Chain A
């Protein structure tokens, strides 16, 4: 059993665009907001199309137990997220959660680096909140295709990130190139105990390789197509280096990068 796992009613507080193709929804669901921890996710029913039966699994960026709210920055990529983007303040639905396991807090860690690519910024911002509240110093690398799709650097700065390095594929903001290019430099100079990352799988594979070479612990938040989010359907398998599969929703979504078969 997972603490607080249930079907939670929620009411939309706000839902607005924060960058090209990126929306931020804040909904009120007090029990969920109290129970959920950085790195976990929710599985949301988006009303409006009875022919789309499955929920939409989404990571969150901020859970405010005092206000009873959960904030999710999400990319509009399919019909489900498009309909989610049309939900207005006051509308209601349900979320299954908390799903999965939190970002593990690495014992004795003093300095961390967090690396986000695209909408992977969402659980990385939640990770930054965890590190900030634990007093762990951290640097951040945030990558996007282009400046218009960038979100979250100001949030990370406000949370006390020592350095925030921005990369864009087209060079319209920060350094031209990928997050891994920037991370390689930071790893050479910094003395990190752990790297946390979420983004496209090819990016995370690159981050994992750099961390492996540098001998630094790396935790990755994986994404899979899935149905339930709580271990019933068996569809969200992640291949491990030992030849087995693990469940993204029950065993993850956060894995030790050394265990994942990239």
Chain B
């Protein structure tokens, strides 16, 4: 503990994620941290650099039927379907807690979800109106676009650009774009060109798991998003590709379950590192990553964690 606090004191851990000024690089992934409050039972959430809230749409979404999850080797799959209480429901129930969390030093990033350009616009307009306490808005463009037969809203550079262009002027705060793990360099450049302040990646990777006795999906839908350590190496590669492709900062995520995983992401070019699935089975993981990164940075002989961003040597 003594060594750890010395390390924390000797290295500056603050980072700037496209205007979201974080006291340290550690963030939590949307959909893995609810609205933050449930984790206060396990640790002081204000120790984190930021939290990203569960994606919220303009209207409440019920989400998909059960079963919404199954386990796969070194990971899990989900088909929650972005179940959420809507922006207004979220702000009413959690606004006071989240405003307090901001005052305690932890940045709050609200995530906007939609099935069409119009739905994203409606969501961010409500966020602007009802969430004055938030430091940033993350737009999740990995949702299926109902008008386009379920193709991902952000599945091509053109469709990603279209939705970022529509939303950008309506968001007065830093705008993060949560990308689907497809065509990373092209889509990253398209989002940057339309004014995104930072990119969040990767989202879950679409997968399947079949019960061979019943011949049915182990989820209530044929496919679901794979997350957890199983996708970490892929995520590091995609974060590295994105960091090469754009100048805006990267919020790196995908299977981070320890400070080592987070450090890899930083070396690959991530400004912030986001703990996701690990929150489910190791509820203090994000806080442990804060401590571990500080010790690692000190051990690396730097005085500022920013010196390690993209410091990967080929």
Contact = CB atoms under 8 A, between A and B. Distances in A.
A54 B68 contact: no
Contact of A54 (B34, B67, B280): B280
B216 to A, nearest CB: 14
A223 to B, nearest CB: 10
Interface string B35-53: 0011111100000000000
B35 to A, nearest CB: 10
Contact of A1 (B41, B63, B70, B80): B41
B68 A232 contact: no
A226 B54 CA distance: 17
B34 A53 contact: no
A53 B74 contact: yes
A224 interface: yes
Nearest to A247: B83
A52 interface: yes
A232 B78 CA distance: 13
Among the interface residues A6, A45, A52, A228, which one has the most CB atoms of the partner chain B within 10 A?
A228
B225 to A, nearest CB: 11
Contacts of B195: none
Contacts of B31: 233-234
A105 interface: no
B277 interface: yes
Contacts of A1: 37, 40-41
Contact of B42 (A6, A45, A231, A239): A6
Given A51-B73, A234-B31, A239 B65 contact: yes
Interface in A215-262: 224-228, 230-239, 243-245
Nearest to B62: A245
B66 interface: yes
Given A232-B39, A233-B78, A234-B83, A96 B283 contact: yes
B303 interface: no
B126 interface: no
Contact of A234 (B54, B74, B228, B229): B54
Among the interface residues A5, A50, A224, A232, which one has the most CB atoms of the partner chain B within 10 A?
A232
A17 interface: no
A218 B298 CA distance: 59
Contacts of B40: 1
Contact of A236 (B62, B66, B257): B66
Interface residues of B, number: 37
Q: Could you tell me the dominant secondary structure of chain B's interface residues?
A: loop
Interface string A41-54: 00001000011111
Contacts of A232: 32-34, 38-39, 279-280, 283
B41 to A, nearest CB: 4
Interface in A195-233: 224-228, 230-233
A132 interface: no
Nearest to A4: B41
A28 interface: no
Interface string B66-87: 1111110111101010010000
A55 interface: yes
Q: Could you tell me the dominant secondary structure of chain A's interface residues?
A: loop
A225 B74 contact: no
Given A1-B41, A53-B229, A232-B39, A227 B281 contact: yes
Contact of B41 (A5, A227, A236): A5
A235 B283 contact: no
B65 A54 contact: no
B63 A228 contact: no
A172 interface: no
A6 B229 CA distance: 23
A258 to B, nearest CB: 20
Contacts of B62: 243-245
A238 B75 CA distance: 23
A5 to B, nearest CB: 4
Among the interface residues B41, B65, B228, which one has the most CB atoms of the partner chain A within 10 A?
B41
Given A52-B71, A54-B71, A237 B39 contact: no
A128 B260 CA distance: 48
Q: Which 5 A-B pairs have the closest CB atoms?
A: A235-B69, A227-B280, A235-B68, A228-B280, A5-B41
Interface of B: 31-34, 37-42, 54, 62-63, 65-71, 73-76, 78, 80, 83, 228-229, 257, 277-281, 283-284
Interface of A: 1-2, 5-7, 45, 50-55, 96, 224-228, 230-239, 243-245
Given A6-B41, A235-B78, 17 more contacts: A51-B74, A52-B71, A53-B74, A53-B75, A54-B281, A55-B281, A224-B67, A225-B68, A225-B70, A227-B76, A233-B32, A233-B69, A233-B80, A234-B83, A237-B65, A237-B66, A245-B83
